[in-house]
Structure formats: structure tokens, C-alpha cells
Chains A and B, each alone.
Chain A
């Protein structure tokens, strides 16, 4: 069954149909929340809230966008609300180990000190403004197209592309300032 067919069944009260939709999109919802919160526990709870909210708001889904895009918008809003809350701020952690895992996969042919570069790149991404960082992470996550990200962030596609470009430029600049690169 397609998403549209499952949505129709779910709107009629079919919980099983909605469960299938959850199974299809829960990973994308979770990663969107993870991009905003960067804590697996917070992301899981935000994803859970978003999916339950989608069920309660299913009647308001008009089909202007795909169900997936609509669901991702809800997930992003829930994640951002959570990020703004005091409790989430208090418990937020920076997963530095992510950089180490990436560094482990960098070829020694490419970098003499690749692990350190990945570490600094992670730091530089952390230091970006929330708008640039969120956009970069969502685009790089690989689960979402520019249209999806634009709908989630409620900005035009052109703005998404500019933010990604600007985010990359700032990260590169920071790596140069840290002495990781010889120049632009």
C-alpha cells in the first residue's frame, strides 16, 4: 500500500495502518530530531511525541505535501520546542565521540592527521549558528531532499542551499584558523 492509502485508512481510525506508516518513517523522524537535539535519548522522545501528535492531527493533513514531508515538519517542530525547553538545555550533551568514529574511517593516504582534522571539523560544526548548523546536518544526513529540508525549516529551497554553502565555508575557515589547512 502507498502512503496515501495508509493515510486514508489511518484517518478512518485504523491504528494498524498508522503503525505501518510509523514503521516506514520512524528512522527519518528520529534522525531529524537527532539533528536538532544531538542526544539519542532526547531524539527518541521527541520522535515519539511527533508520531503521536501526527496521529492526533491526521485529520488536518490536507495532502498539499507528501505525508513524509508533513510528518518531518511535525518532528522538526517538536524537536526545536524540546531544544528550547530548559530541561533539554540542561541535559544536552555534545557527542564528541562522533568525530572520533568518523576519524577512524578516514584513509591514512589522505591525511597525516586526519583524525585530528575530523575532530576539529566536528568542533567547527558545533560552533556554527543554529540556523546554519541545523541546515547542514539535515542536508548531510542523507535522508532528506532540499524540498524536505525547506519544508521542515519553513524557508525557500534557495535559502537552504545558501545556508549549506555558507556553513561549509565557515567550517573551512575555522579549520584554516586552527592551522589544520594551509589555506583556503
Chain B
């Protein structure tokens, strides 16, 4: 494979090597644009078409939607477990509630916005879960133990009407999430006030105690 030095000597070989490198580099950038380039540019300039021919917006949107669908499909398996006293239910079964088994209003449930009521029940369940609505319940002995429950899960479980549904039925529910975009925004602030009430009290008492000790 080695190239033998020819009569021109090392300098000649070097110059030839340089020539080959230059030739290869030139060849990599050689070529003429097609005859359609000028005509296409003229047409786009005349018509005011300024869109790029690179990655189209719909491509980005498609990738984003695919990412959302994958995230929603993964979420039930990787999300925080909802555990209640004596709870031995299967996690997937506890989360999925058939639309027909869910009443339109459950006592203690956060009332969905008007727009949400117009959405079919199956979509509402998925939308509420996606919005991450949480309720904080104080412990029965007045202590600080708190149990965070996903909306709609404990009520259905307490009534014993939970129906096990195979995880394969999840995709249709996940797709419905993409349509009602602004439905759940108003539902988020309601439970937040309950949480803040408990958190704010404790640091104030500690501060006053510390002041007395310092004095």
C-alpha cells in the first residue's frame, strides 16, 4: 500500500500529496445548481413566499405531540403511588375509572370549570389527572400527617366501584388530553389555598419562640 518515492524526490511527493488533498476537497464542493433553482427563487420572491425549506413547523409539532403521547403513556407506570390505609389494590386499577361508573359530581370534589363539564366524562378524568390536582387531608388526630391523593381516586375506591381495566385501553384517553388546552387552569388554585394555610403557621410560631429565648 505504501507509495514508493519516485524520481522527483520527497518534495515532489509532498507537492503531489498536496495536490491530491486539494483535488479531493475541490471535488467535494464541485457541482452546479439545477436549472430550477433560479426559477424557483424568482417564483418565491414574486409570490412573497418566505417559508424555509428546512424543518417545517408541522414537523416540530408532530415531534412534540409524539413526545406528549409517550410521556402520558409512561406516566401511569412511573408516577407517584397513591397509597391509602390498608390499600392493596393494583395501582393501575386504582387509577383508571370507567367513564360510566363516575358520577357527574362527587361530594368534596373540586368543581370543574363550565367548559370542562361539556367535555365527555372519559376526557374529564384524564384532563383532571393531567392537571395534577391534589388535595391535602389533615390527619384525624390533628397531627401533621398528610396524605396526598390524586383527584377522583379515593372517592371511587371508597365506594368500592373501581373496575379493573387493562392498561391497553389507556391510549385513547391520552389522545383526548391534547384537545382541551385551557380547561384545567381554573381548577388549580382551589386546593392550593388549603396547603398554604398549614405551611404558613408553623414557621411563625418557631420564630416567636426563638425571640423569647434570645431575650
Q: Cα distance A22–B22 when bound, in Å?
A: 28
Establish whether residues B24 and A175, one from each chain, have CB atoms under 8 Å apart when the complex forms: no
Number of residues from A at the complex interface, CB < 8 A: 66
Of the listed stretches B43-51, B73-81, B99-107, B176-184, chain A binds B43-51
| Size range of the chain B interface in the assembly | 35 or more
Q: Which of B4, B16, B41, B55 neighbours the largest number of chain A CB atoms within 10 Å of its CB?
A: B41
Q: Cα distance A27–B33 when bound, in Å?
A: 6
Supposing A110-B16, A181-B2 touch, asked if A31 and B38 sit within 8 A by C-beta, the answer is no
9 further A-B pairs in the complex, CB-CB below 8 A; given A46-B54, A172-B17: A15-B46, A26-B38, A31-B29, A38-B28, A102-B24, A121-B24, A175-B17, A182-B2, A182-B5
Establish whether residues B33 and A47, one from each chain, have CB atoms under 8 Å apart when the complex forms: yes
Neighbouring B residues of A19 by C-beta, 8 Å: 38, 41-42, 45
Establish whether residues A121 and B20, one from each chain, have CB atoms under 8 Å apart when the complex forms: yes
Interface string of B10-42 (1 = CB under 8 A from A): 000100111011111111111111100110111
- Interface contacts (Cβ under 8 Å), in number, total 147
Establish whether residues A44 and B3, one from each chain, have CB atoms under 8 Å apart when the complex forms: no
Establish whether residues A99 and B17, one from each chain, have CB atoms under 8 Å apart when the complex forms: no
Tell me which residues from 44 to 97 in chain B have a Cβ below 8 Å from any Cβ of chain A: 44-46, 49-50, 52-55, 59
Establish whether residues B41 and A51, one from each chain, have CB atoms under 8 Å apart when the complex forms: yes
Establish whether residues B54 and A85, one from each chain, have CB atoms under 8 Å apart when the complex forms: yes
Closest-CB distance, A115 to chain B (whole angstroms): 10
Establish whether residues B25 and A137, one from each chain, have CB atoms under 8 Å apart when the complex forms: yes
Establish whether residues B24 and A122, one from each chain, have CB atoms under 8 Å apart when the complex forms: yes
Establish whether residues A30 and B53, one from each chain, have CB atoms under 8 Å apart when the complex forms: no
Closest-CB distance, A2 to chain B (whole angstroms): 20
Establish whether residues A98 and B24, one from each chain, have CB atoms under 8 Å apart when the complex forms: yes
Closest-CB distance, B175 to chain A (whole angstroms): 24
Closest-CB distance, B66 to chain A (whole angstroms): 13
Supposing A44-B34, A118-B23, A140-B25 touch, asked if A87 and B54 sit within 8 A by C-beta, the answer is yes
Contact partner of A48 (CB less than 8 A), chosen from B2, B32, B53, is B53
Neighbouring A residues of B17 by C-beta, 8 Å: 117, 172, 175, 181
Supposing A15-B46, A30-B37, A110-B16 touch, asked if A179 and B2 sit within 8 A by C-beta, the answer is yes
Supposing A52-B49, A179-B1 touch, asked if A44 and B27 sit within 8 A by C-beta, the answer is no
Neighbouring A residues of B6 by C-beta, 8 Å: 110
Establish whether residues A137 and B29, one from each chain, have CB atoms under 8 Å apart when the complex forms: yes
Task: Give B7's nearest chain A residue, CB to CB.
Answer: A109
Closest-CB distance, B62 to chain A (whole angstroms): 12
Establish whether residues B2 and A35, one from each chain, have CB atoms under 8 Å apart when the complex forms: no
Contact partner of B53 (CB less than 8 A), chosen from A15, A49, A105, is A49
| A63 located at the interface, meaning its Cβ lies under 8 Å from any Cβ of chain B in the complex | no
Q: Cα distance A179–B34 when bound, in Å?
A: 40
Task: Sample 12 A-B pairs with CB under 8 A, ordered by A number.
Answer: A22-B42, A30-B33, A38-B28, A44-B37, A48-B40, A48-B53, A52-B41, A98-B24, A98-B28, A118-B23, A140-B25, A141-B26
Neighbouring B residues of A30 by C-beta, 8 Å: 31-33, 37
Establish whether residues B25 and A48, one from each chain, have CB atoms under 8 Å apart when the complex forms: no
